[in-house]
Amino acid sequence: MARATALQLVQVGKESVAGTAVACTTMFQSIGMEITPGGDGFTEQRAQGQRWTSVVVPGREWADVKLSGPLDYVEDTWLLLSLKRVAATTLASGAYSWVIAPSLAAEDLYNTYTLQQGTPQHGHRVTYAALKEYGISWMKDKAPERSGSMWARRLEDDIDLSTNEVQSITRTGTVSGGTYTISFGGQTTASIAYDATSATTQAALEALSTIGSDNVSVTGAPISGGPVYITFREDLGKTNVAEVTVSSSLTGGGTIAVATVTTGAEPTAAGFVPVGATHLDVYMADSWAGLAGASAETGVFKVDLKLSDFSGQKKVINSTYTSFAELVPKAFSGSLDVVMEADATGMALLTAMRAGTTKWIRVKAVGAQIGSTGYYYTYQVDGAFKVNKPNTFSDEDGAYAVQWSFTPVYDSVAGKAIEWTIYNATASV
């Protein structure tokens, strides 16, 4: 069966220890992810006296996770928490606030994620995924879109999606010979030898019409070493199936036990609440406090925010690491481009540029009410910026416009450079 592009799922799990894989039981529906294998230090070597390359020596691998899709009131919270980890504040029962502001001179704690991408037929996985760059484009005539990318350790292929059922067959005592059978759905396998490999055990299960080809994967065999793990996939994937039963003719003593390690189920959606084009307003002020009383701008056509260099890879000479050892913070860089009408308001930024004054800019989206809480889905980003330069004038459907470029800066009075405030129905990540 072909691996269809349109059917690719993205599932995520928050890691307890950075880089240690966890079950990915939450599904993203808004965030598009393109996971690409990468690496460096791959060396071509040619044997002396020969004209063609003889070998290519692998180096350390890592993966790049390209982000795309519509800005979302819920799912983008997950991304930003891999920039700085914070806890939600309860606004009302069922409504929560997330406030995320990267520090000036401290290393922020941040979430790392295990990511899986694939279908019930085939999937791959990366660990230690964390945001390295993030961008949003707000436009006058369509919904805002995200961009950016994440670091991740090297890609692992042929991974079963985490919400597939996993069962174990465990023996106690010593197994020195004999056979056993496995029953499922009213059918029983042929006898399986005590030292049968995972491939042999999997073939015996796939021979049952109640299972079929490619609908299970087996690891951990032989049973003499065990435990044996059976993962139900493809046609039996993401389903709470009945437990197998085992009939043992094994010798050497001991008993056999079957247990469900992971109950099959559909992944839980993080929450698919896209930001609409008509949800947006832009505000400008000369101070952080001034934003509270600022009126929405009426002449802005487009805003592009791009932030990068959140972290870099630490690589060390140590055979333990087949990828980077850890991520380390870097000096932030970024830009904000605003296309606005070249009227008195728009051209007033020329004075701010020449004086080197700081402008506070807020882009705020407000969506539907969160249940009946009285609070509304909100995605707000506030930032302190220096006017960098004016760019070309342009025509915006008959309106004469100018593009201004800004550089994000730290404001010592406000104690921040960039801050996100998000309201949604997510209590924790």
* pLDDT tens for each residue of 10-48: 999 999 999 999 989 999 999 999 999 988 878 889 999
What pLDDT score was predicted for residue 371?
A: 96
**pTM summary value:** 0.86
What pLDDT score was predicted for residue 176?
A: 87
Distance CA(151)–CA(157), nearest Å, equals 17
What pLDDT score was predicted for residue 303?
A: 98
What pLDDT score was predicted for residue 355?
A: 95
Give the pLDDT band (50/70/90) at residue 331. Answer: very high
In the predicted model, is pLDDT for residue 148 greater than 80? Answer: yes
Distance CA(316)–CA(324), nearest Å, equals 8
Please check whether residue 313 lies inside any domain of the structure.
Answer: yes
Domain end residue (candidates: 262, 279, 304): 262
Please check whether residue 277 lies inside any domain of the structure.
Answer: yes
Q: Do residue 193 and residue 298 come from a single domain? A: no
Q: Do residue 304 and residue 344 come from a single domain? A: yes
Please check whether residue 429 lies inside any domain of the structure.
Answer: no
Q: Do residue 25 and residue 142 come from a single domain? A: yes
Give the pLDDT band (50/70/90) at residue 4. Answer: confident
What pLDDT score was predicted for residue 40?
A: 82
Backbone angles phi, psi at 359, to 5 degrees: -110, 135
Distance CA(65)–CA(28), nearest Å, equals 14
Q: Do residue 123 and residue 224 come from a single domain? A: no
Contact assessment for residue 167 and residue 227, using Cβ atoms and an 8 Å cutoff? no
Please check whether residue 47 lies inside any domain of the structure.
Answer: no
Q: Do residue 142 and residue 290 come from a single domain? A: yes
In the predicted model, is pLDDT for residue 1 greater than 70? Answer: no
Exposed, middle or buried by CB within 10 Å (0-12, 13-18, 19+), for 188?
A: middle
Q: Do residue 190 and residue 70 come from a single domain? A: no
Domain end residue (candidates: 212, 236, 262): 262
Count of CB atoms situated within 10 Å of the CB of 11: 23
Residue whose pair of structure tokens reads 């249940």 in the numeric block:
371
Q: Do residue 69 and residue 135 come from a single domain? A: yes
Count of CB atoms situated within 10 Å of the CB of 151: 25
Contact assessment for residue 283 and residue 340, using Cβ atoms and an 8 Å cutoff? no
Sign for the CA dihedral angle at 147, 152, 157, 160 comes to negative
* Residue partners of 204: CB distance under 8 A and separation at least 6: 182, 189, 190, 192, 196
Q: Do residue 256 and residue 276 come from a single domain? A: no
Over residues 405-425, mean pLDDT? 96
Strands 95-100 and 418-424: antiparallel
In the predicted model, is pLDDT for residue 335 greater than 90? Answer: yes
Count of CB atoms situated within 10 Å of the CB of 350: 13
In the predicted model, is pLDDT for residue 233 greater than 80? Answer: yes
Strands 26-28 and 268-269: parallel
Taking only Cα atoms into account, the Rg of the chain, rounded to an integer number of angstroms, comes to 27
Over residues 140-151, mean pLDDT? 96
Please check whether residue 150 lies inside any domain of the structure.
Answer: yes
Domain end residue (candidates: 262, 286, 315): 262
Tell me the two tokens of residue 144.
Answer: 């805002």
Domain range enclosing 71: 5-41+59-160+271-424
pLDDT tens for 169-189 read: 998 888 889 999 999 999 999
What average pLDDT does the chain have?
94
Distance CA(93)–CA(194), nearest Å, equals 56
Give the pLDDT band (50/70/90) at residue 269. Answer: very high
| Closest to 72 measured CA to CA, from 148, 144, 139, 150 | 144
Please check whether residue 95 lies inside any domain of the structure.
Answer: yes
In total, how many domains does the chain have? Answer: 2
Please check whether residue 411 lies inside any domain of the structure.
Answer: yes
CA 58 to chain centre: 27
Exposed, middle or buried by CB within 10 Å (0-12, 13-18, 19+), for 95?
A: buried
> Comparing 223 with 162, which gets the higher pLDDT?
223
Tell me the two tokens of residue 18.
Answer: 């950075």
Please check whether residue 46 lies inside any domain of the structure.
Answer: no
Q: Do residue 348 and residue 218 come from a single domain? A: no
Q: Do residue 203 and residue 155 come from a single domain? A: no
pLDDT tens for 283-295 read: 999 999 999 999 9
pLDDT tens for 342-381 read: 999 999 999 999 999 999 999 999 999 999 999 999 999 9
Contact assessment for residue 163 and residue 264, using Cβ atoms and an 8 Å cutoff? yes
Contact assessment for residue 287 and residue 360, using Cβ atoms and an 8 Å cutoff? yes
In the predicted model, is pLDDT for residue 79 greater than 80? Answer: yes
Q: Do residue 250 and residue 353 come from a single domain? A: no
Give the pLDDT band (50/70/90) at residue 3. Answer: confident
> Comparing 225 with 30, which gets the higher pLDDT?
30
Distance CA(276)–CA(423), nearest Å, equals 15
Q: Do residue 10 and residue 132 come from a single domain? A: yes
What pLDDT score was predicted for residue 253?
A: 74
